[in-house]
Structure 1
Amino acid sequence: MELITAHYIIEAVGWLAVLLKVATLSMHSMIRLRMLAMVSSVCFIIYSGVLQIWPLLAIEITLLSINAFHLYQFIALRRLVTDLTDDSKPDFSAAMTYGQKSVIKAGDVIFKKGDPVDSLYYLAEGRVEVEDQHVYVDAGKIFGEMAFFNSNAARSATVRCLEDAIVYELNEKRFTRLQYEDPEFAMAVMRLVTRRLVANAAHPQEAHSE
């Protein structure tokens, strides 16, 4: 009798795992979807472990690990968005990991007005000027990023070094990769772009996008 009861319990766990797996298809929230998928995997692990269905056990252990990792990423990103305030200082230093380093002398031009858009830049050291717009960029900031969001795909200003500078260049491919791999960097860029778009709309004569 006990064996029969245990058999029915394990079978019920298996069916519960199936129902939970199907239920994930109706989830609109990625966090809830991952959580439900993890519970389903736990049920499948119990079911396949007791019945010694090793391929299913291996698959579900793998899926549990993957979903746990993605759940952590989603929660971390949501916490990051929640914690960010308008007064928080953006951190673009991750660009040094992915960008191509260049040492540029004072007076040299980084790009000219009308040049095709191919990169954005992180200024690690030095100071640059956006000519004709009286805009200055100090170390720790990025410039040239607005052009990635501009359908004209051409530089709207010339940028020249006022001091010897160390610059990290991110082409579009590296920029896109960095956004996916470092959510904090992506949020910092989006906040900066949003602020500049709002400022440009409010004061078009003082617009300073590159």
Structure 2
Amino acid sequence: MDTSHLTQHVGTAGAVFASVFVVATTTMRTMIPLRVFAILTNIVLIATAIPSRNYLVILVQLLVMVLNTYRLHQMLQLVRDVKRSVSSDLSMEWLKPFMTERRCATGEVLFYKDEKADSMYYIVSGRYRLVESGIELPVGAIVGELGMLSPSNLRTQTLECIEGGVILSVSYAQVEQLYVQNPAFGFYFLRLSSARLFENIDTLEQQLASALAAAKPA
């Protein structure tokens, strides 16, 4: 039985479907639907390459599909972790896979007030203090994110290491890339940053109240 015509028609149909998927991806503004359409394109190209036994195309598309599937899973997991963090303890554990480890020595200044800000930090171990306000940050805290939200991108305080430890850093460029890939990430990040800001305000108000109470004559 001559299957050459069938193979040719299947190949043509596959090329048309793949072209439709490619055009559709150009209309996608966020990464999740883009990855879904890319996976569909991979499947169509694999299906059309099977009748012609084009093993090179099949192998390449399988590899690309695995990569697209992994990236899709990574982005969906990021969104789930951020949502869970917002609704629970405001942990920033979900950001760890995108961060770089850095060891800090006692007395080291990570950044100074009014200098240009380009990254934020997650405290893994050690002790750190915001010099101007005197606030000591616990393990698990994130610091430096407010510089990203300010119009001038300047540090609002100086951060000093008062006991050696390890921090994780992530650049604002990486955070912006995550936002571009998935705007939902930006929304939840903004909520987390706002919560951190209110926590700092509450701490400063408590310190001010304590100072005023101590200054009152007996």
Query: Shorter-normalised TM-score: what interval?
Result: 0.5 to 0.7
Query: After the TM superposition, which residues 18-167 of structure 1 pair with which residues of structure 2 at under 5 Å, given as runs?
Result: 18-24=15-21, 25-27=23-25, 28=28, 30-92=31-93, 94=96, 98-105=100-107, 110-117=110-117, 119-133=119-133, 135-161=135-161, 163-167=162-166
Report the 3-state secondary structure (helix = DSSP H, G, I; strand = E; otherwise coil) of the residue aligned with 2:105.
Answer: strand
Counterpart selection for 2:13 from 11, 16, 19: 16
Work out whether residues 131 and 157 of structure 2, in 8 Å CA contact, stay in contact via their aligned partners in 1. yes
User: The residue matched to 2:121 in structure 1 has which SS?
Assistant: strand
| Counterparts of 1:48 and 1:156, CA distance in 2 | 58
Instruction: With the length of structure 1 as denominator, give the TM-score of the two structures.
Output: 0.64
- The CA deviation string for residues 55-112 of structure 1, in whole angstroms up to 9 with x for no partner, is 433433333333333333343334334544432341348389613201215xx75544
- Compared with structure 1, are the counterparts of its residues 150 and 126 closer, same or farther at alpha carbon in structure 2 (3 Å cutoff)? same
For 1:96 and 1:34, locate their aligned partners in 2 and report how far apart those are by CA, in whole Å.
Answer: 19
Q: Which deviations, in whole Å up to 9, do the C-alpha atoms of 1:118-161 show, x marking residues without a partner?
A: 54333333443334435331122122232233332432223345
Aligned partner of residue 62 in structure 1, secondary structure = helix
Letter in 2 for 1:152: S
SS of corresponding position for 1:99: strand
Name the TM-score, length of structure 2 as normaliser: 0.62
Query: Unaligned 5+ residue runs, structure 2?
Result: 206-218
Once the 2 structures are TM-superposed, how far is the Cα of residue 10 of structure 1 from its aligned partner?
Answer: 3.5
* CA–CA distance in structure 2, aligned partners of residues 82 and 96 of structure 1: 17
In structure 2, what is the Cα distance between the partners aligned to 1:111 and 1:82? 30
Letter in structure 2 aligned against 1:72 = H
SS of match in other structure, 1:120:
strand
CA pair 150-26 structure 1, distance change in 2 beyond 3 A: same
Would the aligned equivalents of 1:13 and 1:43 in 2 still touch at CA under 8 Å? no
Distance across 1 between alignment mates of 2:170 and 2:65: 35
What is the RMSD of the two structures over their aligned residues, measured on CA atoms?
Answer: 4.1
> Is the contact made by 1:20 and 1:36 (CA closer than 8 Å) also made in structure 2?
no
Question: Aligned AA for 2:103?
Answer: K
Change (3 A) 1:85 1:133: same
d(CA) in 2 for partners of 1:61, 1:95: 25
CA distance 1:62–1:89, change in 2 (3 Å): same
1:50 aligns to what SS in structure 2? coil
Secondary structure of the residue aligned to 1:152 is coil
Q: State the Cα distance separating 1:171 from its structure 2 match.
A: 6.7
> 2-side partners of 1:158 and 1:109: how far apart?
7
Aligned to 2:212: none
The count of aligned residue pairs is 192
Give 1:19's aligned amino acid.
V
C-alpha distance 55-79 of structure 1, shift in aligned 2 (>3 A): same
C-alpha separation in 2, matches of 1:95 and 1:65: 19
Identity of aligned residues (%): 19
